[in-house]
């Protein structure tokens, strides 16, 4: 039975899975279709015919009796045949009436091309909410508004107005794309075809009023014609759907990769803590995607060229790369970029040196296997790849090919094709502009790169790939809950109260006491001490002259207390000042900043980095989604370059990294609390002592959620 016959059969569209109606509809309708080829709504019907859609197409527009030789209908209910998928291209004010028509015609899904909804302001957002509410009530699922549609190259089905469909051929591929940018679909199809990389299904989600990125990507995971799912993200609208999709993808063995638009740190000014400012949008999104096992690439070229590297593969667990080159300069350029990403370019293993010596080639002490002087011979390339793939010290191989890739692909490029399904990935960087070789490798399933930057970006993403982590909500312990309950309507906690909260979580904190600016000085304190302004409204005390250190005696403390209070009161006359906090001076091997932050997009995050006054200057930090355990906290600490001396780097005495890791894990519980009582909290600094001597928080701050204040 043909797809056209199936569409006219007795089976109702509602009986079909949503993914089939969305990606593989047996029949489609175009509401607002036009006979003008210059208009957007004049394209989809023509594209469907041009690319060979096998099912019936029902144009709907009361202004026409026929369009492109087929009957045109005044409304969807007038069609009188089952319709799987409707593309809505009418002006904004008419969309709600069309949705009613879709429901009356029992259409299971509709793509709304029309814009002017949530992206246009409050009035548009209200109209979008009405659309979704009515659609759900009527059993209709929506893609968009503001969606450029759906393309399935295998059916084929091109229910889209994207002008890339003007091209004569639309080869079928194995890579699916879900994009928050409709125009990106055209760019990827065009650029991909230029290098022999093709797609299976491409979807523009628009405003995600109903069907979100995660929901659509989850359907692609189930698609037997898709091997890799690619996401183009501008924001996050439905974290839960993305999390569910990531778990499904892991179970199905299908890699998911993402490119995130917007690397600038928009919105940092909204965060009062160092943690919020340091985390920013980019790092928080990176932590979120990594936690889900979604590989993030940073270059647009990588978005196109990386999928063949991922297809059918899993994370290797290490970051060791071997570089083989037929051009010394090209190999050095790639190795330089790999090293810049923190990847280890490994030296040729002894078996490879011996095998090449047997062929009369000595490769010296270089970490790069340079075959330049040997000439480009197939048997030499094969020897290198066989040995490196078998080596336990290698996780991936980069083959850099020089001028022979442009003029003689049979020498060093064609031999690579047989390694497409090797146990370890073999990728290629072609130094010259070698279009024929790029296509040859793409057809074989070998990832081939035009630039060393994209090659390093892709390998870095692949070699830092981790499986998705199932995060559990962690209710706060009774002591921490009780501590929070003490503060009633407080919006923020001052340092004394924040440290008490951290202590209740299990973080060691410095002894402290408070005094009035005019005294008296505490009687039972050991000098030297540090004095700090105590205020819930001042997170960065040093900036305002609110800190004095190395105070030697009571008289000096009284003088410092008055000076601190007067200075801060003059700078911040509106701020509530609760007195002066006094602590014994503490010294250690390093200062760390540890913080949590409820990111509006990524969710609860925990951070550790180089602390002290220069935390924001260095921006040397590691971020994860909360909660983290001791092992994950240790991994975070190892990522912070400025904390490397704590591990004994370059002969430094070792610090108590175990104590630091325990504090990171303990504080992360604040962000993982299902009650969401704390929006931001940080310790800066947390002083790390020598190995086995512990770590102590000497400064802290926290901002509470409004509902926590209301219930306190």
| pLDDT tens digits for range 38-67 | 899 999 999 999 999 999 999 999 999 999
Comparing CA positions, the residue from 510, 498, 594, 500 lying closest to residue 539 is 498
Report pLDDT for 12: 42
Least confident of 110-124, 405-419, 435-449, 679-693: 405-419
Higher pLDDT, 639 or 614: 639
In angstroms, what CA-CA distances link 263 with 235, 245, 379?
Answer: 11, 24, 45
Average pLDDT over residues 199-222: 97
Report pLDDT for 281: 67
Report pLDDT for 263: 56
Q: How confident is the model at residue 265 (pLDDT cuts 50, 70, 90)?
A: very low
Q: Are strands 396-401 and 426-430 parallel, antiparallel or unpaired?
A: parallel
Please give the DSSP secondary-structure letter assigned to residue 154: T
Q: Does residue 385 carry a pLDDT above 90?
A: yes
Q: Are strands 199-204 and 175-179 parallel, antiparallel or unpaired?
A: parallel
Please give the DSSP secondary-structure letter assigned to residue 547: E
pTM of the model: 0.88
Cβ neighbors of 125 (< 8 A, separation 6 or more) are 117, 118
Q: Does residue 14 carry a pLDDT above 60?
A: no
Cβ neighbors of 584 (< 8 A, separation 6 or more) are 510, 511, 525, 526, 527, 528, 529, 530
Report pLDDT for 81: 96
Q: How confident is the model at residue 376 (pLDDT cuts 50, 70, 90)?
A: low
Q: How confident is the model at residue 619 (pLDDT cuts 50, 70, 90)?
A: confident
13's tokens: 């569209």
Report pLDDT for 610: 92
Average pLDDT over residues 281-301: 90
Q: What percent of the chain has pLDDT over 70?
A: 93
Q: What percent of the chain has pLDDT over 90?
A: 73
Q: Is the dihedral of CA 158, 161, 167, 168 positive or negative?
A: positive
The separation between the first and the last C-alpha atoms of the chain, rounded to the nearest angstrom, is: 67
Q: Does residue 11 carry a pLDDT above 90?
A: no
Report pLDDT for 331: 94
In angstroms, what CA-CA distances link 136 with 140, 209, 352?
Answer: 6, 11, 63
Q: How confident is the model at residue 280 (pLDDT cuts 50, 70, 90)?
A: low
Burial 313-326 (b: 16+ CB within 10 A, else e): beebeebbbbbbbb
SS3 345: strand
Q: Does residue 200 carry a pLDDT above 60?
A: yes
Report pLDDT for 456: 97
Q: Does residue 516 carry a pLDDT above 60?
A: yes
β-strand partners of 142: 110
Report pLDDT for 711: 46
Average pLDDT, the chain: 90
Report pLDDT for 460: 96
Q: Does residue 297 carry a pLDDT above 90?
A: yes
Q: Does residue 218 carry a pLDDT above 50?
A: yes
Report pLDDT for 709: 45
Cα angle 399-402-406, degrees, rounded to a multiple of 5:
110
Report pLDDT for 118: 92
Delineate the domains of the chain, giving CATH numbers in brackets: 316-463 (3.40.50.261), 512-584 (3.30.1490.20), 590-711 (3.30.470.20)
- For 98-128, what is each residue's pLDDT tens digit? 999 999 999 999 999 999 999 999 999 999 9
Higher pLDDT, 328 or 136: 136
- For 461-475, what is each residue's pLDDT tens digit? 999 999 998 887 788
685's tokens: 């600094």
β-strand partners of 702: 493, 681
Average pLDDT over residues 293-319: 92
Report pLDDT for 361: 83
Report pLDDT for 317: 77
* C-alpha span between 254 and 311 (Å, rounded): 7
Average pLDDT over residues 612-624: 78
Comparing CA positions, the residue from 313, 329, 320, 323 lying closest to residue 372 is 329
Q: Does residue 708 carry a pLDDT above 60?
A: no
Cβ neighbors of 174 (< 8 A, separation 6 or more) are 198, 200, 225, 226, 227, 228, 311
* C-alpha span between 141 and 159 (Å, rounded): 16
Q: How confident is the model at residue 614 (pLDDT cuts 50, 70, 90)?
A: low
Please give the DSSP secondary-structure letter assigned to residue 73: B
């Amino acid at each position: 039975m043909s797809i056209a016959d199936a569409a006219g059969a007795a089976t109702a569209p509602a009986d079909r899975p949503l993914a089939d109606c969305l990606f593989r509809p047996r029949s489609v309708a175009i509401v607002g279709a036009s006979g003008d080829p210059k208009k957007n709504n004049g394209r989809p019907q023509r594209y469907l015919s041009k690319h060979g859609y096998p099912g019936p197409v029902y144009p709907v527009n009361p202004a026409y009796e026929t369009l492109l030789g087929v009957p045109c209908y005044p409304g969807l209910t007038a069609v009188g045949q089952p319709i799987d998928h409707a593309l809505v291209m009418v002006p904004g004010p008419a969309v709600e009436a069309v949705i009613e028509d879709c429901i009356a015609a029992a259409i299971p899904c509709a793509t709304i091309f029309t814009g002017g909804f949530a992206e246009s302001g409050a009035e548009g957002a209200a109209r979008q909410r009405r659309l979704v509410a009515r659609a759900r009530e009527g059993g209709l699922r929506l893609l968009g508004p503001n969606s450029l549609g759906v393309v399935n190259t295998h059916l084929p089905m091109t229910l889209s107005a994207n002008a890339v469909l003007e091209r004569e051929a639309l080869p079928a591929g194995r890579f699916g794309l879900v994009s928050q940018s409709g125009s990106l679909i055209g760019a990827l199809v065009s650029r991909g075809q230029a290098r022999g990389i093709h797609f299976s299904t491409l979807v523009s989600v628009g405003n995600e009023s109903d069907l979100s990125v995660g929901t659509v990507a989850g359907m692609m995971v189930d698609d037997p014609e898709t091997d890799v799912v690619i996401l183009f993200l501008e924001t996050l609208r439905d974290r839960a759907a993305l999390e569910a999709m990531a778990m499904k993808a892991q179970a199905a063995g299908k890699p998911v990769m993402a490119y995130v638009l917007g690397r600038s740190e928009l919105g940092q000014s909204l965060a009062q803590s160092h943690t919020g400012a340091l985390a920013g949008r980019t790092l928080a999104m990176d932590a979120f995607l990594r936690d889900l096992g979604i590989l993030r690439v940073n270059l647009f070229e990588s978005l196109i060229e990386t999928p063949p590297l991922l297809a059918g593969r899993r994370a290797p667990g290490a970051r060791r790369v071997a570089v083989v080159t037929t051009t010394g300069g090209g190999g050095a350029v790639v190795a330089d970029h790999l090293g810049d990403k923190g990847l280890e370019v490994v030296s040729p293993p002894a078996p490879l040196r011996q095998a090449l010596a047997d062929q009369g080639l000595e490769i010296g002490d270089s970490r790069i296997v340079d075959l330049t002087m040997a000439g480009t011979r197939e048997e030499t390339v094969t020897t290198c790849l066989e040995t490196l793939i078998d080596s336990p010290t290698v996780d991936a191989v980069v083959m850099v090919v020089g001028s022979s890739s442009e003029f003689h692909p049979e020498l060093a490029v064609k031999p690579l094709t047989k390694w497409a399904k090797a146990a370890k990935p073999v990728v290629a960087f072609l130094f010259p502009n070698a279009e024929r070789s790029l296509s040859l490798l793409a057809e074989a399933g070998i990832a081939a790169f035009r630039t060393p930057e994209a090659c390093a970006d892709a390998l870095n993403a692949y070699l830092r790939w981790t499986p998705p982590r199932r995060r559990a909500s962690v209710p706060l312990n009774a002591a921490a809950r009780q501590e929070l309950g003490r503060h009633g309507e407080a919006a923020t906690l001052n340092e004394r109260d924040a440290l008490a909260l951290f202590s209740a979580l299990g973080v060691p904190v410095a002894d402290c006491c408070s005094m009035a600016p005019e005294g008296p000085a505490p009687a039972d304190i050991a000098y030297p001490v540090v004095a700090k302004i105590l205020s819930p409204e001042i997170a960065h005390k040093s900036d305002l002259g609110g800190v004095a250190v190395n105070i030697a005696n009571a008289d000096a403390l009284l003088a410092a207390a008055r000076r601190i209070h007067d200075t801060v009161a003059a700078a911040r006359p509106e701020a509530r000042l609760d007195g002066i906090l006094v602590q014994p001076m503490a010294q250690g091997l390093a200062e760390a900043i540890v913080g949590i932050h409820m990111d509006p997009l990524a969710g609860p995050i925990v951070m550790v980095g180089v602390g002290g006054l220069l935390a924001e200057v260095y921006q040397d930090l590691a971020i994860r989604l909360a909660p983290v355990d001791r092992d994950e906290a240790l991994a975070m600490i190892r990522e912070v370059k400025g904390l490397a001396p704590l591990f004994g780097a370059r002969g430094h005495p070792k610090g108590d990294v175990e104590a630091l890791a325990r504090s990171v894990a303990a504080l992360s519980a604040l962000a993982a609390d299902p009650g969401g009582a704390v929006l931001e909290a940080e310790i800066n600094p947390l002083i790390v002592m020598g190995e086995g001597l512990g770590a102590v928080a000497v400064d802290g701050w926290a901002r509470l959620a409004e509902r926590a204040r209301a219930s306190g």
